[in-house]
Amino acid sequence: MALQPGKGKVDGKHYLPSTPETVRWGELPTARTRPVLTVDSGSTVTIDTVSQEGILEDQGRDPDAFFGRHGVTSSEVLDDARAIAASGIPHRFGVDGPHVVTGPVYVRGAEPGDVLRVEILSLLPRARYGMISNRHGQGLLAGEFPEGPTPDQDADARHWQGFRTVGSFCAVERRRGKLFGVLDAVAGGARVRFPLNPFIGIMAVAVDLGGEPGGDAGADQEAGTATVPSTSVGLHGGALDCRDLGMGARLYLPVQAPGALFAVGDPHYAAGDGKIGLTALEGPLRATVRLSALREPAARAALGSLREPFVETEASWLTLGLDVDATEAIRRAARSAVLFLSSRLSLDRASALAYLSAAADFGISQLVNGVQTAYCRIRRSDFTEPPPPRPRLPRAALGRLVGTGDDVAGYDGAGYDLLDGSGPDGLGIEGDADDEVLDRAARAQDDGDAPREDDRVGLPRAAVRRKKSNGPAPLAAGADERGGGASDHRGDAGPRGQDEPDEPERHTAGPDGGSAAPAPRVADEVPGSLPRQVTSGASRRPLRRSETPTPPATG
């Protein structure tokens, strides 16, 4: 029932599992960290992330025994979580960071001064359960919660109950096409159910700690042994815990080291602003991202003069502020917002401040990692420029975990019943949403306007065929081309329609982190519109593709 490593859908061109060789427990990468995968700029990578919950020392470092107490069978425990917990990776509970960080990924062509754009294309829950933990001495109400005795002095992984961590087990259920977390019911208490909103809590590029060749020997040695805890936040990103970084969002990070060295960790199923109890609903995700290195012209077009972590969604822009003091963190987010509005949208600074005071939303993403993360959310609809095309995979990012005809080892015929193609909000594309997009495109044609490219790209093929019956649609400008070729995708892909393109060649990270994948085409420019419908003068019928005249060349 669990989405085990390499099983089920792998949407990216490259696949990166979480193994003892590809993860760092409690640390973020530095400029000296050896990459576990190398990709070209613009490539898509699918990463199986692992949650730290269930494998930490205060939970026994044994996910089978820990989750078994909550009724989880051995087949539903992830193999990679089990392997990491049983490995010899050193980890000091309460000293090292708690998170399992996968990577880093070396992006060819990314250099210091560039900006790495991370597009979140899909997020797929890997388990039907998650955990919310409250630990002594941590969280907004430290000293008040957990209630009860303090931890024993001799508590360790073999005597883990002595830590007295309070964990709340959450089952994941689907209702009317949407996913919810359900807290364990207490006798006589109300049943608690809340919607899921998956996102990755840690996304980071490598931190440059200095220590250049030919420099001071002592500084070089110190830089070579220095580590960055997984709880850190800064210009490199890190534990931002921004719940707006769900599917379809884009994160921009200033590159500090050659290759960017991108890493991820701390997957969430849901989180409230602030995460006041220390953790939110933690659960493992299969994340597919597109990694693109932006040079200065493209970076300025996206961010203006801002060179800090920045979040972009279809509806909003978010600037972030980081500081040990929450009020100062909000000030930093506000200053970044003024800089963005003035340099990117050409507002004068007084008008930018006036707009932020009247219309922007400020809040706190997390208050529990030492350095607080604040945000300023700006509505894109308040400005006249159109939003960019939504980041999409060439096919629907999510749907059935095991589609019709799939025969994947480790799954029964029912597959993963939480995700069966119904497209829960924030996890996939609903049929109603597809119909709305198609109807909007049809109305645009009726009004004499050509449909935009982002109204076509990424729709399920069956939906497109319902609307268009006079031949296949032309390839939209700016859409990703997926070449044919052999695939090492685990399992049978199932039946495919005759008009569906071949799967791209997949590349799995090897021990040396290398990859011989050809560079995919990256389209940073704004895509154009599809051509207007052309009809013949005599019959006024739509012309077939072979009859469509070639437009004259323009100098």
For residue 84, the number of C-alpha atoms closer than 13 Å in the C-beta half-sphere is: 33
Measured at the alpha carbon of residue 83, what is the angle toward residues 80 and 89, in degrees to the nearest 5?
115
Higher pLDDT, 252 or 140: 252
Same domain, 365 and 278: no
Sequence-distant (6+) residues with CB within 8 A of 213 are 220
Alpha helices in 261-325 (DSSP H): 296-303
In a domain, 277, yes or no: yes
Mean pLDDT of 99-114: 97
Tokens 């078994």 appear where?
Answer: 68
Same domain, 378 and 262: no
φ/ψ of 203, rounded to 5, equals -135, 125
In a domain, 109, yes or no: yes
pLDDT at 374: 96
pLDDT at 527: 37
pLDDT at 286: 98
In a domain, 514, yes or no: no
Give 137's pLDDT tier (boundaries 50, 70, 90).
confident
Do 488 and 508 contact (CB within 8 A), yes or no?
yes
In a domain, 112, yes or no: yes
Instruction: Measure CA 63 to chain center.
Output: 24
Same domain, 281 and 345: no
The two tokens of residue 297 are: 């012209």
Higher pLDDT, 194 or 406: 194
Domain boundary among 253, 274, 300: 300
pLDDT at 159: 82
Which tens digits make up the pLDDT trace of 225-280?
789 999 999 999 999 999 999 999 999 999 999 999 999 999 999 999 988 898 99
pLDDT at 251: 98
Domain boundary among 323, 358, 382: 382
Instruction: Measure CA 255 to chain center.
Output: 18
The two tokens of residue 170 are: 């959450």
Q: What is the mean pLDDT of the chain?
A: 77
Q: Distance between CA atoms of 28 and 203, rounded to whole angstroms?
A: 9
Residue 82 DSSP SS3 = helix
Give 163's pLDDT tier (boundaries 50, 70, 90).
confident
pLDDT at 149: 87
For the ranges 258-262, 344-348, 368-372, which has the lowest average pLDDT? 368-372
Q: What is the share, in percent, of the chain residues with pLDDT greater than 90?
A: 53
Mean pLDDT of 160-178: 90
Do 197 and 123 contact (CB within 8 A), yes or no?
no
pLDDT at 526: 34
For residue 268, the number of C-alpha atoms closer than 13 Å in the C-beta half-sphere is: 30
Predicted TM-score of the model (pTM):
0.71
Q: How many CB atoms lie within 10 A of CB 387?
A: 14
Q: Distance between CA atoms of 443 and 478, rounded to whole angstroms?
A: 23
For residue 258, the number of C-alpha atoms closer than 13 Å in the C-beta half-sphere is: 2
Q: How many CB atoms lie within 10 A of CB 521?
A: 11
Mean pLDDT of 402-419: 35
Same domain, 88 and 234: yes
* Residues spanned by the domain of 352: 315-382
CATH number at residue 95: 2.60.120.580
How many domains does the chain fold into? Answer: 2
Do 195 and 244 contact (CB within 8 A), yes or no?
no
Higher pLDDT, 440 or 144: 144
Q: Where are the beta strands (DSSP E) in 304-405?
A: 310-312, 316-323, 361-366, 372-379
Same domain, 374 and 252: no
pLDDT at 512: 54
Same domain, 271 and 325: no
In a domain, 194, yes or no: yes
pLDDT of 551 strictly over 70? no
Tokens 């919950």 appear where?
Answer: 53
Question: Going by DSSP bridges, is the β-strand pair 37-40/100-108 parallel, antiparallel, or unpaired?
Answer: parallel
pLDDT at 444: 42
Same domain, 29 and 171: yes
Same domain, 107 and 170: yes
Do 271 and 85 contact (CB within 8 A), yes or no?
no
Same domain, 239 and 320: no
For residue 425, the number of C-alpha atoms closer than 13 Å in the C-beta half-sphere is: 9
Give 217's pLDDT tier (boundaries 50, 70, 90).
low
Question: Measured between alpha carbons, how far is residue 428 from residues 248, 400, 431 in Å?
Answer: 10, 10, 10
Mean pLDDT of 60-74: 94
Q: How many CB atoms lie within 10 A of CB 493?
A: 16
pLDDT at 480: 42
Residue type, position 356, single letter: L
Same domain, 113 and 197: yes
Q: Distance between CA atoms of 291 and 109, rounded to whole angstroms?
A: 11
Mean pLDDT of 55-76: 93
Same domain, 141 and 196: yes
pLDDT of 554 strictly over 90? no
φ/ψ of 428, rounded to 5, equals -165, -160
Mean pLDDT of 470-493: 40
Which tens digits make up the pLDDT trace of 144-154?
999 888 888 88
For the ranges 129-138, 260-269, 340-349, 473-482, which has the lowest average pLDDT? 473-482
Higher pLDDT, 517 or 321: 321
Same domain, 374 and 244: no
| Length of the chain in terms of residues written | 555
Higher pLDDT, 495 or 510: 510
Domain boundary among 382, 399, 418: 382
For the ranges 163-172, 223-232, 359-368, 476-485, which has the lowest average pLDDT? 476-485
Give 4's pLDDT tier (boundaries 50, 70, 90).
very high
pLDDT at 218: 53
In a domain, 183, yes or no: yes
Give 395's pLDDT tier (boundaries 50, 70, 90).
low
In a domain, 479, yes or no: no
Higher pLDDT, 534 or 215: 215
The two tokens of residue 536 are: 């013949």
Q: Identify the CA nearest to 263 among candidates 118, 391, 374, 92.
A: 118
The segment with the largest mean pLDDT, out of 87-96, 132-141, 233-242, 483-492, is 233-242
For CA atoms 248, 253, 259, 264, give the dihedral sign. Answer: negative
pLDDT at 134: 87
Residue 48 DSSP SS3 = strand
In a domain, 60, yes or no: yes
Instruction: Measure CA 38 to chain center.
Output: 19
Mean pLDDT of 484-508: 44
Residue type, position 484, single letter: G
CATH number at residue 372: 3.10.28.20
Sequence-distant (6+) residues with CB within 8 A of 377 are 244, 316, 317, 318, 360, 361, 362, 363
Do 193 and 185 contact (CB within 8 A), yes or no?
no
pLDDT of 523 strictly over 60? no
Do 369 and 139 contact (CB within 8 A), yes or no?
no
For the ranges 177-181, 257-261, 455-459, which has the lowest average pLDDT? 455-459
Measured at the alpha carbon of residue 365, what is the angle toward residues 362 and 371, in degrees to the nearest 5?
110
Q: Distance between CA atoms of 439 and 450, rounded to whole angstroms?
A: 13
Do 252 and 312 contact (CB within 8 A), yes or no?
yes
In the chain, the N- to C-terminal Cα span, in Å, equals 58
pLDDT at 515: 52
Question: Measured between alpha carbons, how far is residue 102 from residues 16, 77, 126, 498 in Å?
Answer: 8, 19, 16, 37
Do 37 and 103 contact (CB within 8 A), yes or no?
yes
